[in-house]
Structure 1
Amino acid sequence: MLILLFAVALGSWHAAAAEYDDCDANFIAFVGASAYQFSPYAPGPLGTVRLYSVLSYQRAAALGERGDVRWKLEIRSPQGSIVREAEGAGRLEESGQVLAEFLWDGKDQQGRIVPEGIYTYTFRAYFLADSHGKRFEKLEELASAPMVEEAMASTDEVVVNYTLPDTVAQQIRVSALATNCEVQQNVPLEAGFPYNFYYGSTHSHSNFSDGGQPTTNCSSGNAYGSGTFNPAAVFDFARYSAGLDYWVVNEHNHLINDSV
């Protein structure tokens, strides 16, 4: 009886440890780039663009599955034809993520500079769990295997612009770097849980319209421009007093012109 109870308890523990969010549990290829436009004629790193994909499979990580991942990148012209392809491989381990990346220099498969225009890029990825006991050396073999799992592919755009000034190109890189998040950057609040909670608001107003009122003077309606606090003061309050992670100030646009 004790052995049976122990087995049931152990099974329950494993079930709890394997919990995951179904909304994000599938094999997914999230894509990104170091810049949304670039010129292959630009000097140094500005003449290339880094295309990458975070291959995420949280269900496999939660269930303790490990395995091989192979990926393929397709870059298509404005007319839809493939101009460049690249392949790679990786291992899906306990993090449930594999980073795929390719540095594109604006050349096609034959080494020729491509014309200006909007190009699309797509990462396709395939996962084969070690539990199947099989290994495939070629992507084509893995992709056609009956037990393989294909990622939900994502597509994005990158612009080839030969008139892009170097100063603007550099600013684009800095802006993109500030908003890129390829891997989790903060320690989870709860050990073993691969997500964090961030606290804030996506709806508030400052004295640029009808907000920015002291809490003692807050009511359901205030005259526009009558508030005490501008957007900078609102952000300071959110960051230093309220202890929030983010805060969005969005004004009533029909009030802005007359409020300041």
Structure 2
Amino acid sequence: MGTIAACMLLGMLAAAATTGATAQAPFEHREFDATLDAPYRAAPAQGRSPGRAFTLHFSYPAALREQAVTWRLELLAPSGQPVQQWFGVARLFERAVTLRIPWGAGKDAAALPDGNYQLRLRALAQERRAGMAAPLAPRRAAAGDPGLAAAARTLAEGQAGLIEQRWDILVGNPAPPAMPAFRALPARAAPPAAAPAPDALPYTVYYGNLHSQTRHSDGGGDVAHCSGAQAPQSGAFGPADAYAFARAHGLDILFTSEHNHMYDGSDGTNGDADAAAAKALYHAGLDIAAEFNAAHPDFLAIYGMEWGVINNGGHLNIFNSEELLGWEVNNRNELLADTLTPKNDYASLFALMRQRGWIGQFNHPALNGQFRVGGVPFGYSADGDAAMALCEVMNSSAFSTNMTETESRRSNYELACNKALEAGYHLAFSSDQDNHCANWGASYSNRTGILIPNGVPLSQASVLDALKARRVFATMDKHAQLVLSANGHLMGERFNNSGPLRLLVNYASLAGGRVATVAIYEGVPGRNGTVTQLASVADTTITPANGEHFYYAKVTQDDGKVLWSAPVWVSQGACP
């Protein structure tokens, strides 16, 4: 089915949605959200001590009543201990709230040794009730402050709806780490006459955005007046527009991940929806991607779905399904999808994905309450482990209209991804934009880097092979690369080892970037414990304890942009 036919189908579905359902803004992405903007370095001094400001953004589009947002911001020393804290209670209703905390001028940073520090924001929104404490303006916590103790009780770990964000900042001018020599991998396909250097890894890096929407669901909003998710199938631009925009903006890959439950033109269930038309629209999207790829062999368009709902569920992408999956039926009891997948039943979904050979990604995972298997959030499933290849570690704002790659509202999901890794999932990190406005890949400079063997064409098959092998890194800098190796094994690999293990963090920048800090993290799959930092050097040798381990690298550039490698998984045994 061609693009014109797809547009006709879209019109049919929109008309059906108008007659069968009340028009309303989508419910997805209307949950409580909290982000932290923390400049990595202090601003240049202008006749005074250099300083910076930390900015907190709170929003809750779906709140029907006023919310009290309790928050605490901690500055953690390199040891992990809090050295300074701020807290408050903000009123939140109808409009987003932005709080600014100046820091660094005068004595704020003077007493702190040079080093890489971390800011940790915890925030929780609760409906205001009689007897609740009055709003509290941001304030610096003093020792024994009873207000801080009250905030800590409210923000106890494990609370449903609790959001935690962490970003590093640099204090002073610590010496940068020594980095091993590493020849940058070619980006895109190398010219036929250009042979790879003999000491380089035999891969080409392709940079993509693996999470976005168009008017086939709740995306495609014109940036001139886009302020959030669009009413399903009302956006101005469709998949072909998205692929053309991303290609023109320099991306190699764009995945348009449409919400699987919006093919009826509704965010609820449209009882009057035409089941055949809903299914046909999904298949038309697959055809649009195929047509675009045939005309543009230098770019990969992928069309698929974002399955699930956020509240008490969790969104995940499925990259290679030719079947529309769903749980909704119309008034004639017709399934509004090709294949039934019960809502929020992740165990059954994972089993189907494994059976069909589908590959998935956990999208913007919450710390608590999502992706339940056996009643346990991020509960381990062998089927899920086989099917799920990626976990989004960082996103720019889903509703950004930024066209210059400078969006400041960014979310970090490293803790949630670590929770999945500790549960036993074998996941690489990805970094996407979840674009709902028509700025696919343009809101920020972040990308997912995918390693494809030299000489292998860019195609859906080669990308899926790379995802299955976890040959992937996440980056906030589209010109940078990060590859972790362990005793010569490439990130993404699972291998047996005895004796010493050499972990090597390989970094390269195609635009003059430099490393400010490096960290290697260690965890144990299936332990359901805590991932901890193992080393702060790029070349380290250890002898792990016998048993299962995973390791990944994290590099922060001197401009504050972060890269995450995929893990390696090591089964350590006794020496012969």
**TM-score, scaled to structure 2:** 0.25
Aligned match of 1:50 = 53
Q: 1:121 Cα deviation (Å)?
A: 0.3
Matches of 1:19 and 1:205, distance apart in 2: 29
What pairs with 1:15-34 in structure 2 (closer than 5 Å)?
19-21=26-28, 24-33=29-38
Question: Counterpart of 2:131?
Answer: 134
How many angstroms apart in 2 are the aligned matches of 1:139 and 1:163?
A: 31
- Tell me by how many angstroms 1:74 deviates: 0.2
2:78 alignment partner in structure 1: 78
In the TM superposition, what is the alpha-carbon distance from 1:68 to its structure 2 partner? Answer: 2.2
Q: Which has the higher strand share?
A: 2
Relative contact order: is structure 1 or structure 2 higher (C-alpha 8 Å, sep ≥ 6)? Answer: 1
| Structure 2 match to 1:204 | 247
Task: Give, in angstroms, the shift of residue 89 of structure 1.
Answer: 2.9
Shift of 1:155: 0.6
Shift of the alpha carbon at 1:221? 6.0
Distance, in Å, in 1 between the alignment partners of 2:173 and 2:296 is 53
In the other structure, the counterpart of 1:101 is 100
Cα deviation, residue 108, structure 1: 7.5
SS of residue in 2 equivalent to 1:135:
coil
Quote the residue 1:151 is aligned against: 162
Judge conservation of contact 1:53–1:101 (CA < 8 Å) in 2: yes
Gapped regions of structure 2 (runs ≥ 5) = 1-20, 135-146, 176-222, 250-293, 299-437, 456-576
Q: Which residue of 2 aligns with 1:226?
A: none
- Structure 1 residues 158 and 17, CA, compared in 2 at 3 Å: closer, same or farther? same
TM-superposed CA distance for 1:119, in Å, is 0.8
Match of 2:112 among 111, 114, 120: 114
Asked if residue 194 in structure 1 is aligned to residue 199 in structure 2, the reply is no
Q: 1:187 to 1:205 in 2, by over 3 A?
A: closer
Secondary structure of the structure 1 residue equivalent to 2:62: helix
**Counterparts of 2:153 and 2:441 in 1: how far apart (Å)?**
47
- Is the Cα–Cα contact under 8 Å of residues 72 and 151 in structure 2 kept in the other structure? no
Q: Secondary structure at the match of 2:33?
A: strand
Find the counterpart in structure 1 of residue 123 from structure 2: 125
Describe the shift of the 1:106–1:163 C-alpha distance in structure 2 as closer, same or farther (beyond 3 A). farther
Q: How does 1:86-97 map to 2 (within 5 A)?
A: 86-95=86-95, 97=96
Deviation, structure 1 residue 30: 1.2
The two structures have a TM-score, normalised by structure 1, of 0.50
Q: Please list the CA deviations of residues 159-196 of structure 1 after superposition, one character each: whole Å capped at 9, or x if unmatched.
A: 123489xxxxxxxxxxxxxxxxxxxxx6645xxx7336
SS in 1 for 2:247: coil
2:523 aligns with none
User: Using a 3 Å threshold, how does the CA distance of structure 1 residues 221 and 20 change in structure 2: closer, same or farther?
Assistant: closer
Q: CA deviation at 1:48?
A: 0.9
Q: Deviations over 1:44-87 (max 9, x none)?
A: 57711211221232332xxx221222321100011111111112
The separation in 2 between residues aligned to 1:36 and 1:77, in whole angstroms, is: 15
Unaligned 5+ runs, structure 1? 1-11, 165-185, 207-217, 223-243, 256-260
Distance 1:158 1:45, change over 3 A: farther
Counterpart CA distance in 2 for 1:150 and 1:44 is 43
Distance 1:78 1:141, change over 3 A: closer
Relative to 1, partners in 2 of residues 1:105 and 1:17: Cα closer, same or farther, differing over 3 Å?
Answer: same
Q: Return the alpha-carbon distance in structure 2 between the equivalents of residues 42 and 160 of structure 1.
A: 14
* CA displacement at 1:154 relative to structure 2: 0.6
Q: Percent identity?
A: 19
| 1:38 counterpart = 2:42 | yes
| Structure 1 residues 128 and 151: alpha-carbon distance in aligned structure 2, compared to 1, 3 A threshold | same
User: Following the alignment from structure 1 to structure 2, what is the Cα–Cα distance between the partners of residues 221 and 200?
Assistant: 16
Asked whether the equivalents of residues 66 and 92 of structure 1 are also in contact (C-alpha less than 8 Å), the reply is yes
1:59 aligns with 2:62: yes
State how 1:216-255 maps to structure 2 within 5 Å.
245=439
- Match in the other structure for 1:233: none
Deviation for aligned residue 1:26: 3.4
How far apart, in 2, do the equivalents of 1:149 and 1:219 lie? 47
Q: Distance in 1 between matches of 2:71 and 2:25?
A: 26
Q: State the structure with more CA Rg.
A: 1
Report the CA distance between 1:219 and its aligned residue. 5.6
Secondary structure of 1:204's partner?
Answer: helix
Distance 1:129 1:115 in 2: 41
Aligned residue for 1:58, secondary structure, equals: coil
The separation in 2 between residues aligned to 1:195 and 1:83, in whole angstroms, is 39
Instruction: State the alpha-carbon separation in 1 of the partners of residues 124 and 297 from structure 2.
Output: 55
Give the distance between the partners of 2:163 and 2:93, measured in 1 at CA: 19
CA RMSD of the aligned region, Å?
4.6
Q: Deviations over 1:188-224 (max 9, x none)?
A: 45xxx73366764475379xxxxxxxxxxx96669xx
Q: 1:142 to 1:72 in 2, by over 3 A?
A: closer
Measure, in 2, the Cα distance between the counterparts of 1:220 and 1:105. 50
SS at match of 1:155: strand
Deviation, 1:126, is 3.0
- Going from structure 1 to structure 2, the CA distance change for 1:149 and 1:128 (only over 3 Å counts) comes to farther
Other-structure match for 2:388? none
Give the 3 Å change call, closer, same or farther, for CA 187–98 of structure 1 in structure 2: farther
Distance 1:87 1:78 in 2: 21
Contact 2:76 2:119 in 1 (8 A): yes
